[in-house]
Amino acid sequence: MKWHYNLLIGVINGLEEIFLLNKPAIKVVDKLIDENKKWGARDRKFVSSTIFDTVRWIRKYGYCSNIKELATRKNLWDILGTAIVLKGQIIPNLMEFSNINSKEILKNESEIINNRKINESIPDWLDQIGINDFGESLWNKEVSAFNTRSSLVLRCNTLKTNIKELKNLLKVENIDTVLKKEYPDALFVKEHKKVINLNSYKLGLFEIQDANSQKVATSCNLKPGMTIIDACAGAGGKSIHMASIIKNEGEIIALDPHDSKLKELEKRAKRNGVKIIKTLNTFKSKNISNLIGKADRVLIDAPCSGLGVLKRNPDAKWKMNPEKIKKLINTQQYLINFWSKYIKPGGELIYATCSIFHQENKEQIKIFLDNKVGKKFIIKNEKTYFSHTTGFDGFYIVQLKKNCE
């Protein structure tokens, strides 16, 4: 690999924004790519993969380079030089790497081979939660899976095409994909490529959506004609998926506190040919109080730690902490109790998070089922999707059925 100086500068600029200015890695990388139009496909791939790898392994790289606190741009050059050494590549002959000591870096690496927290580059507090919830054996596997790159997965829009037709069309557009029977609407892209410029995307034939994320809508036991509330819709990926499942027949009310996300949802819905979604700001939820006790389904894709999607968002493990999780847990409890009132007898509440940990999932459901409102519900299905067993993002999904009164 030839390390071109202008690309290295791009990497350092990105790392500076992520670690020193505390900006989200995904947004930083997207901005870098957009601002550097002259970079070719290989250059973009190099910059993005190098930044994400560095974010993913920052604790290990910091230890091996003897950096106690990441505070300066020079620290970032040392981290990058350490990454190059640990990848077994030749350090570029640049002034910025003049103090890199390859022997000491490799010696430091040999010392942590049995130290999971440093060698797998995870915070102490997260490691402890993982051990408490899952035990050493499963947690070792999951941590290792977190540190592998996520796949690019597409979801076929069945309102406009079918999976085989889409696969053939993408082949014409030079995108090779694979099918997996466990994920009937998913196409797995063999090689990471930018797909949002494809004509098939612009026509609304597919969305980008992780395979286990697709399990949320398919777990809702949907039928055409249903009234569905998506209580935490965001930009609408799951609302749009549900609309395709019920064949544009019924009503989906999608709520979010951010108008910008609702506008993006409306834009995506139009591209996908979805006509049954009504968007509503969460602060105006009183406008649908007439649906209390009448909704067939309520989906709560709850705000969570995001610690199940570290394959895709590795900076979450450095920016999340136990105090933030406590606040999220309070929000989750509020959402479950509030929106459960909207479900009609025989209807279902579907609660999902992109976290695998019990305090946000199983323990939340236990608390709900033990309270006065929750006693009207029973667990119909409950599953945690692990990265190490599926190869995709970690998710928790539970279906709660309301007793017929």
Q: Which residues of the chain have pLDDT under 70?
A: 1-2, 405
Determine the structural domain holding residue 333 and report its residue range: 212-402
Last residue of a domain, one of 76, 106, 121: 121
Which residue has 């309070």 as its token pair?
A: 330
Q: How far apart are CA 304 and CA 332, in angstroms?
A: 8
For residue 8, count CB atoms less than 10 angstroms from its CB and return exposed for 0-12, middle for 13-18, buried for 19 or more: buried
Statement to judge: residues 203 and 266 lie in one domain: no
Q: Is residue 236 part of a domain?
A: yes
pLDDT digits (tens, 9 = 90+) for 138-177: 999 999 999 998 889 999 999 999 999 999 999 999 999 9
CATH number assigned to the domain comprising residue 190: 3.30.70.1170
pTM higher than the cut 0.85:
yes
pLDDT of residue 1: 57
- Residue in 129, 155, 152, 151 with CA at minimum distance from that of residue 142: 129
pLDDT of residue 157: 98
The domain total for the chain is 3
- Residue in 391, 354, 380, 398 with CA at minimum distance from that of residue 150: 391
| Residue 222 backbone dihedrals phi, psi, to 5 degrees | -90, 150
Q: How far apart are CA 42 and CA 71, in angstroms?
A: 30
Statement to judge: residues 178 and 58 lie in one domain: no
DSSP 19: I
pLDDT of residue 41: 84
Statement to judge: residues 203 and 216 lie in one domain: no
Q: Which amino acid is at 304?
A: C
Statement to judge: residues 260 and 359 lie in one domain: yes
Find the radius of gyration of the CA atoms of the chain: 23
State the greatest distance between any 2 C-alpha atoms of the chain, in Å, as a whole number. Answer: 75
- The beta strands (E) that lie in 302-342 are given as none
pLDDT of residue 237: 95
Q: Is residue 162 part of a domain?
A: yes
Q: How far apart are CA 333 and CA 99, in angstroms?
A: 52
For residue 232, count CB atoms less than 10 angstroms from its CB and return exposed for 0-12, middle for 13-18, buried for 19 or more: buried
What does the block give as tokens for 187? 């196409």
- Helices of type H across 113-188: 116-119, 124-146, 163-172
pLDDT digits (tens, 9 = 90+) for 41-58: 889 889 999 999 999 999
